[in-house]
Amino acid sequence: MASADSGSASALTQLNALVMSASIEARYRGSRMASIVLVHGIAQEQYSADLLESGWVPALAGGVRASGHGDLADQLWRSGHPGELEVRMAFYGNAFLDPCAQGGSAPHELDTSARQVAEELAAEWLEAAAIRSTLPRDQREARRRLDSMALDDEGEQGLGAKIRPAANALAALKWFAPFGFGLAEKFVVRALSQVTLYLTDDGVRQHAQQQVLDLMGSETRLVIGHSLGSVVAYEALHRVQHPVALLTLGSPLALQTIVYPRLRPQPPRVPNHLTRWDNLADRDDLVASHIDLAPFFPAQEGQTVVPITLPSVDNGAKPHDVTHYLNKAAVGRVVAETFG
Protein backbone atom coordinates (compact mmCIF):
# COMPACT_ATOMS: atom_id res chain seq x y z
CA MET A 1 0.00 0.00 0.00
CA ALA A 2 2.82 2.32 0.90
CA SER A 3 4.38 1.57 -2.47
CA ALA A 4 1.15 2.46 -4.27
CA ASP A 5 0.83 5.69 -2.31
CA SER A 6 4.44 6.48 -3.14
CA GLY A 7 3.78 5.88 -6.82
CA SER A 8 0.66 8.06 -6.76
CA ALA A 9 2.56 10.83 -5.00
CA SER A 10 5.34 10.58 -7.54
CA ALA A 11 2.87 10.76 -10.42
CA LEU A 12 1.14 13.73 -8.82
CA THR A 13 4.47 15.47 -8.34
CA GLN A 14 5.32 14.94 -12.01
CA LEU A 15 1.89 16.21 -13.07
CA ASN A 16 2.27 19.31 -10.91
CA ALA A 17 5.70 19.89 -12.37
CA LEU A 18 4.31 19.66 -15.91
CA VAL A 19 1.46 22.02 -15.10
CA MET A 20 3.85 24.51 -13.49
CA SER A 21 6.24 24.21 -16.44
CA ALA A 22 3.38 24.84 -18.89
CA SER A 23 2.26 27.84 -16.83
CA ILE A 24 5.75 29.29 -16.74
CA GLU A 25 6.15 28.70 -20.49
CA ALA A 26 2.80 30.36 -21.20
CA ARG A 27 3.77 33.42 -19.14
CA TYR A 28 7.18 33.49 -20.80
CA ARG A 29 5.71 33.23 -24.30
CA GLY A 30 3.21 35.92 -23.44
CA SER A 31 6.02 38.24 -22.42
CA ARG A 32 7.80 37.59 -25.73
CA MET A 33 5.10 39.22 -27.86
CA ALA A 34 6.94 42.19 -29.30
CA SER A 35 5.81 45.68 -30.26
CA ILE A 36 8.46 45.59 -33.00
CA VAL A 37 9.71 42.36 -34.59
CA LEU A 38 13.07 42.42 -36.36
CA VAL A 39 13.92 39.88 -39.07
CA HIS A 40 17.59 39.51 -40.04
CA GLY A 41 19.02 38.71 -43.45
CA ILE A 42 21.69 36.50 -44.95
CA ALA A 43 24.94 35.30 -43.37
CA GLN A 44 23.92 35.69 -39.72
CA GLU A 45 24.20 32.03 -38.74
CA GLN A 46 27.13 32.60 -36.35
CA TYR A 47 25.11 35.03 -34.21
CA SER A 48 22.02 34.76 -32.00
CA ALA A 49 18.82 36.72 -31.42
CA ASP A 50 20.32 38.46 -28.38
CA LEU A 51 23.52 39.44 -30.15
CA LEU A 52 21.70 40.78 -33.18
CA GLU A 53 19.27 42.73 -31.00
CA SER A 54 22.24 44.39 -29.28
CA GLY A 55 23.26 45.89 -32.63
CA TRP A 56 19.91 46.53 -34.26
CA VAL A 57 18.00 48.16 -31.38
CA PRO A 58 20.42 51.02 -30.61
CA ALA A 59 20.77 51.69 -34.34
CA LEU A 60 16.99 51.84 -34.66
CA ALA A 61 16.79 54.18 -31.67
CA GLY A 62 19.40 56.35 -33.39
CA GLY A 63 17.24 56.61 -36.49
CA VAL A 64 14.21 57.53 -34.40
CA ARG A 65 16.22 60.17 -32.54
CA ALA A 66 17.57 61.54 -35.84
CA SER A 67 13.98 61.96 -37.02
CA GLY A 68 13.29 64.27 -34.07
CA HIS A 69 11.46 61.82 -31.79
CA GLY A 70 13.76 61.62 -28.78
CA ASP A 71 11.09 60.44 -26.35
CA LEU A 72 10.23 57.48 -28.55
CA ALA A 73 13.93 56.73 -29.04
CA ASP A 74 14.29 56.54 -25.25
CA GLN A 75 11.50 53.95 -25.20
CA LEU A 76 13.62 51.83 -27.54
CA TRP A 77 17.09 52.31 -26.06
CA ARG A 78 18.42 54.47 -23.25
CA SER A 79 21.87 54.64 -21.63
CA GLY A 80 22.98 51.32 -23.06
CA HIS A 81 19.83 49.42 -22.06
CA PRO A 82 16.60 48.40 -23.83
CA GLY A 83 13.68 50.72 -23.14
CA GLU A 84 9.98 50.21 -22.47
CA LEU A 85 9.01 49.05 -25.96
CA GLU A 86 9.54 45.33 -26.52
CA VAL A 87 11.74 44.86 -29.59
CA ARG A 88 12.69 41.28 -30.47
CA MET A 89 14.75 39.57 -33.15
CA ALA A 90 13.23 36.65 -35.07
CA PHE A 91 16.36 34.52 -35.40
CA TYR A 92 16.39 31.78 -38.03
CA GLY A 93 20.11 31.73 -38.85
CA ASN A 94 20.51 28.41 -37.03
CA ALA A 95 18.75 26.76 -39.99
CA PHE A 96 21.96 27.36 -41.97
CA LEU A 97 24.52 26.58 -39.26
CA ASP A 98 25.15 22.83 -39.31
CA PRO A 99 27.47 21.95 -42.24
CA CYS A 100 26.18 18.37 -42.12
CA ALA A 101 22.58 19.50 -42.56
CA GLN A 102 20.87 20.70 -45.70
CA GLY A 103 20.83 24.23 -44.34
CA GLY A 104 24.63 24.36 -44.29
CA SER A 105 25.16 23.46 -47.92
CA ALA A 106 27.29 25.64 -50.16
CA PRO A 107 25.97 26.29 -53.69
CA HIS A 108 28.16 23.60 -55.27
CA GLU A 109 26.69 21.04 -52.81
CA LEU A 110 23.06 21.78 -53.68
CA ASP A 111 21.06 19.49 -55.91
CA THR A 112 20.76 20.24 -59.61
CA SER A 113 17.64 22.41 -59.46
CA ALA A 114 18.93 24.37 -56.46
CA ARG A 115 22.30 24.94 -58.18
CA GLN A 116 20.41 26.40 -61.12
CA VAL A 117 18.64 28.81 -58.76
CA ALA A 118 21.96 29.84 -57.18
CA GLU A 119 23.54 30.44 -60.58
CA GLU A 120 20.59 32.53 -61.79
CA LEU A 121 20.65 34.53 -58.55
CA ALA A 122 24.34 35.37 -59.01
CA ALA A 123 23.70 36.42 -62.60
CA GLU A 124 20.78 38.64 -61.58
CA TRP A 125 22.91 40.41 -58.96
CA LEU A 126 25.59 40.95 -61.60
CA GLU A 127 22.93 42.38 -63.93
CA ALA A 128 21.89 44.78 -61.17
CA ALA A 129 25.48 45.95 -60.78
CA ALA A 130 25.91 46.35 -64.55
CA ILE A 131 22.78 48.48 -64.85
CA ARG A 132 22.44 50.37 -61.59
CA SER A 133 25.77 50.68 -59.82
CA THR A 134 26.99 54.26 -59.34
CA LEU A 135 30.55 52.93 -59.50
CA PRO A 136 31.75 52.87 -63.16
CA ARG A 137 34.35 50.23 -62.32
CA ASP A 138 31.68 47.88 -60.94
CA GLN A 139 29.46 48.48 -63.96
CA ARG A 140 32.29 47.58 -66.36
CA GLU A 141 33.44 44.58 -64.33
CA ALA A 142 29.93 43.18 -63.97
CA ARG A 143 29.26 43.53 -67.68
CA ARG A 144 32.60 41.91 -68.57
CA ARG A 145 31.91 38.97 -66.25
CA LEU A 146 28.39 38.52 -67.60
CA ASP A 147 29.67 38.49 -71.18
CA SER A 148 32.36 35.98 -70.24
CA MET A 149 29.85 33.69 -68.52
CA ALA A 150 27.53 33.87 -71.52
CA LEU A 151 30.33 32.73 -73.82
CA ASP A 152 31.30 29.76 -71.65
CA ASP A 153 29.43 26.51 -72.13
CA GLU A 154 28.85 24.00 -69.36
CA GLY A 155 31.96 22.02 -70.17
CA GLU A 156 32.89 18.71 -68.60
CA GLN A 157 31.98 19.72 -65.06
CA GLY A 158 28.34 20.43 -65.91
CA LEU A 159 25.95 22.83 -64.33
CA GLY A 160 27.77 23.32 -61.03
CA ALA A 161 30.88 24.61 -62.81
CA LYS A 162 29.31 28.02 -63.41
CA ILE A 163 28.42 28.75 -59.81
CA ARG A 164 31.93 29.32 -58.49
CA PRO A 165 32.86 31.71 -61.36
CA ALA A 166 29.63 33.61 -60.74
CA ALA A 167 30.44 33.90 -57.03
CA ASN A 168 33.98 35.03 -57.85
CA ALA A 169 32.60 37.60 -60.27
CA LEU A 170 30.39 39.11 -57.58
CA ALA A 171 33.20 39.09 -55.02
CA ALA A 172 35.43 41.00 -57.43
CA LEU A 173 33.12 44.01 -57.37
CA LYS A 174 34.09 47.03 -55.31
CA TRP A 175 30.68 46.61 -53.62
CA PHE A 176 32.34 43.92 -51.49
CA ALA A 177 35.58 45.84 -50.88
CA PRO A 178 34.96 46.35 -47.11
CA PHE A 179 35.03 42.57 -46.68
CA GLY A 180 38.33 41.95 -48.44
CA PHE A 181 38.28 39.49 -51.35
CA GLY A 182 38.49 36.27 -49.30
CA LEU A 183 35.68 37.29 -46.97
CA ALA A 184 33.70 38.70 -49.88
CA GLU A 185 33.78 35.36 -51.65
CA LYS A 186 32.63 33.56 -48.48
CA PHE A 187 29.82 36.10 -48.06
CA VAL A 188 28.67 35.58 -51.65
CA VAL A 189 28.72 31.80 -51.31
CA ARG A 190 26.69 31.97 -48.09
CA ALA A 191 24.26 34.47 -49.60
CA LEU A 192 23.65 32.34 -52.69
CA SER A 193 23.25 29.23 -50.59
CA GLN A 194 20.91 30.70 -48.00
CA VAL A 195 18.58 32.52 -50.39
CA THR A 196 18.43 29.37 -52.52
CA LEU A 197 17.69 27.10 -49.57
CA TYR A 198 14.95 29.36 -48.24
CA LEU A 199 13.25 29.30 -51.64
CA THR A 200 13.68 25.58 -52.33
CA ASP A 201 13.60 23.87 -48.89
CA ASP A 202 10.18 23.87 -47.23
CA GLY A 203 11.69 22.96 -43.85
CA VAL A 204 13.96 26.01 -43.83
CA ARG A 205 11.12 28.20 -45.06
CA GLN A 206 8.69 27.04 -42.39
CA HIS A 207 11.29 27.36 -39.62
CA ALA A 208 12.19 30.92 -40.59
CA GLN A 209 8.59 32.11 -40.78
CA GLN A 210 7.69 30.46 -37.49
CA GLN A 211 10.37 32.47 -35.68
CA VAL A 212 8.55 35.63 -36.81
CA LEU A 213 5.08 34.35 -35.92
CA ASP A 214 6.20 33.19 -32.46
CA LEU A 215 7.03 36.78 -31.52
CA MET A 216 3.85 38.35 -32.86
CA GLY A 217 0.61 39.16 -31.10
CA SER A 218 -2.13 41.75 -31.27
CA GLU A 219 0.26 44.27 -29.66
CA THR A 220 2.78 43.94 -32.51
CA ARG A 221 2.71 47.18 -34.49
CA LEU A 222 5.71 46.91 -36.82
CA VAL A 223 7.82 44.23 -38.50
CA ILE A 224 11.21 45.26 -39.94
CA GLY A 225 12.82 42.88 -42.42
CA HIS A 226 16.31 43.28 -43.89
CA SER A 227 17.62 41.48 -46.98
CA LEU A 228 16.34 37.87 -47.02
CA GLY A 229 14.53 38.75 -43.80
CA SER A 230 12.20 40.97 -45.81
CA VAL A 231 11.14 37.90 -47.80
CA VAL A 232 10.63 35.89 -44.60
CA ALA A 233 8.62 38.76 -43.05
CA TYR A 234 6.49 39.30 -46.17
CA GLU A 235 5.51 35.64 -46.40
CA ALA A 236 4.92 35.30 -42.66
CA LEU A 237 2.63 38.35 -42.66
CA HIS A 238 0.30 36.60 -45.09
CA ARG A 239 -0.45 34.29 -42.15
CA VAL A 240 -1.20 37.08 -39.64
CA GLN A 241 -4.77 38.11 -38.83
CA HIS A 242 -4.30 41.46 -37.07
CA PRO A 243 -3.19 44.93 -38.23
CA VAL A 244 0.57 45.49 -38.49
CA ALA A 245 2.98 47.66 -40.49
CA LEU A 246 5.92 46.39 -42.56
CA LEU A 247 9.26 48.10 -43.23
CA THR A 248 11.61 46.42 -45.71
CA LEU A 249 15.29 47.34 -46.02
CA GLY A 250 17.59 46.29 -48.88
CA SER A 251 14.92 43.87 -50.05
CA PRO A 252 15.27 41.27 -52.83
CA LEU A 253 11.50 40.72 -53.01
CA ALA A 254 11.30 41.91 -56.61
CA LEU A 255 14.19 39.81 -57.99
CA GLN A 256 12.33 38.78 -61.12
CA THR A 257 13.87 35.47 -62.15
CA ILE A 258 14.60 34.08 -58.68
CA VAL A 259 12.66 35.41 -55.71
CA TYR A 260 9.50 37.00 -57.11
CA PRO A 261 8.13 33.96 -58.99
CA ARG A 262 8.79 31.73 -55.95
CA LEU A 263 7.02 33.89 -53.37
CA ARG A 264 4.05 32.40 -51.55
CA PRO A 265 1.18 32.91 -52.09
CA GLN A 266 1.08 33.56 -55.82
CA PRO A 267 0.46 35.93 -57.45
CA PRO A 268 2.39 38.27 -55.11
CA ARG A 269 0.30 40.94 -53.43
CA VAL A 270 0.23 43.05 -50.28
CA PRO A 271 -0.61 40.93 -47.20
CA ASN A 272 -4.22 41.34 -46.08
CA HIS A 273 -3.80 43.07 -42.74
CA LEU A 274 -0.97 45.51 -43.45
CA THR A 275 -1.65 49.04 -42.25
CA ARG A 276 1.32 50.37 -44.27
CA TRP A 277 4.35 49.08 -46.15
CA ASP A 278 7.46 51.26 -46.39
CA ASN A 279 10.55 50.23 -48.36
CA LEU A 280 14.07 51.67 -48.28
CA ALA A 281 17.10 50.88 -50.43
CA ASP A 282 20.53 52.30 -51.12
CA ARG A 283 20.99 52.68 -54.87
CA ASP A 284 24.21 50.66 -54.65
CA ASP A 285 22.61 47.83 -52.68
CA LEU A 286 22.80 44.98 -55.19
CA VAL A 287 20.53 42.76 -53.12
CA ALA A 288 17.68 45.21 -53.74
CA SER A 289 17.71 44.76 -57.50
CA HIS A 290 14.43 46.70 -57.91
CA ILE A 291 14.29 49.68 -55.59
CA ASP A 292 10.60 50.46 -56.20
CA LEU A 293 8.38 47.54 -55.12
CA ALA A 294 5.02 49.14 -55.92
CA PRO A 295 4.73 47.83 -59.51
CA PHE A 296 5.16 44.25 -58.28
CA PHE A 297 2.86 44.14 -55.23
CA PRO A 298 -0.70 45.33 -55.88
CA ALA A 299 -3.12 46.09 -53.06
CA GLN A 300 -5.62 43.49 -51.95
CA GLU A 301 -9.09 43.84 -53.42
CA GLY A 302 -10.90 46.58 -51.52
CA GLN A 303 -7.66 47.76 -49.86
CA THR A 304 -5.40 50.72 -50.60
CA VAL A 305 -2.09 49.75 -48.96
CA VAL A 306 0.78 49.38 -51.45
CA PRO A 307 4.56 49.47 -50.93
CA ILE A 308 5.84 53.04 -50.64
CA THR A 309 9.51 53.31 -51.50
CA LEU A 310 11.15 56.11 -49.56
CA PRO A 311 13.79 58.38 -51.15
CA SER A 312 17.02 56.44 -51.66
CA VAL A 313 19.59 56.66 -48.86
CA ASP A 314 23.39 56.64 -48.91
CA ASN A 315 24.89 53.93 -46.71
CA GLY A 316 28.44 54.79 -47.68
CA ALA A 317 30.94 52.00 -48.20
CA LYS A 318 28.53 49.38 -46.85
CA PRO A 319 25.35 49.82 -48.92
CA HIS A 320 23.69 46.64 -47.58
CA ASP A 321 24.61 47.09 -43.90
CA VAL A 322 21.49 46.93 -41.73
CA THR A 323 22.69 49.31 -39.01
CA HIS A 324 23.39 51.93 -41.68
CA TYR A 325 19.78 51.57 -42.79
CA LEU A 326 18.34 51.64 -39.27
CA ASN A 327 20.29 54.77 -38.31
CA LYS A 328 18.55 56.82 -40.98
CA ALA A 329 15.96 59.46 -40.07
CA ALA A 330 13.68 58.01 -42.78
CA VAL A 331 13.43 54.78 -40.78
CA GLY A 332 12.87 56.77 -37.58
CA ARG A 333 9.95 58.62 -39.15
CA VAL A 334 8.30 55.34 -40.13
CA VAL A 335 8.61 54.07 -36.56
CA ALA A 336 7.29 57.36 -35.11
CA GLU A 337 4.29 57.43 -37.47
CA THR A 338 3.51 53.77 -36.80
CA PHE A 339 3.39 54.41 -33.04
CA GLY A 340 1.37 57.59 -33.45
Instruction: Write out the DSSP string of 226-260.
Output: ETHHHHHHHHHHTT--S-EEEEEES--TT-TTTTG
Q: pLDDT class for 178, splitting at 50, 70, 90?
A: low
Of 216, 261, 258, nearest in space to 236 by CA: 216
Contacts of residue 57, defined as CB under 8 A and 6 or more positions apart, other chains included, come to: 38, 76, 77, 82, 87
Q: Tell me what the mean pLDDT of segment 32-37 comes to.
A: 88
Confidence at residue 29, expressed as pLDDT on a 0 to 100 scale: 42
- Classify the phi-psi angles of 68: left when phi > 0, otherwise alpha if psi is within -120 to 50, otherwise beta: left
Confidence at residue 330, expressed as pLDDT on a 0 to 100 scale: 97
Could you tell me which residues are beta bridge partners of residue 223? Answer: 37, 246
Domains of the chain from N-terminus onward: 32-96+201-338 (3.40.50), 107-199 (no CATH)
pLDDT at res. 159: 36
Separation between Cα atoms, residue 103 and residue 196, nearest integer Å:
10
Q: Which residue has the higher pLDDT, 66 or 258?
A: 66
235 and 199 Cβ atoms separated by less than 8 Å: no
Q: What is the pTM of this model?
A: 0.81
Find how far residue 295's CA is from the centre of its chain: 21
More confident residue, 299 or 165: 299
CB 146 within 8 A of CB 189: no
Confidence bin at 84 (pLDDT 50/70/90): confident
CA 135 to each of CA 31, 143, 165, 175, 318: distance values in angstroms, whole numbers, following the listed order? 47, 13, 21, 9, 13
| β strands within 3-134, DSSP E | 36-39, 77-78, 81-82, 87-90
Mean pLDDT, the chain, whole residue set: 81
Label residue 8 by pLDDT band (50, 70, 90): very low
**pLDDT, tens digit (0-9, with 9 covering 90-100), for 155-173:** 444 334 455 666 677 777 7
Stretch 322-335: mean pLDDT, rounded?
A: 97
Bridge partner list, 309 = 279
Q: How far apart are CA 315 and CA 158, in angstroms?
A: 39
Question: How many other CB atoms sit within 10 Å of the CB of residue 158?
Answer: 10
Distance, CA of 200 to CA of 114 (rounded, Å): 7
Predicted pLDDT at 163: 57
Tens of pLDDT, residues 41-67: 988 999 999 999 999 999 999 999 999
Phi, psi of 136 (to 5 degrees): -55, -40
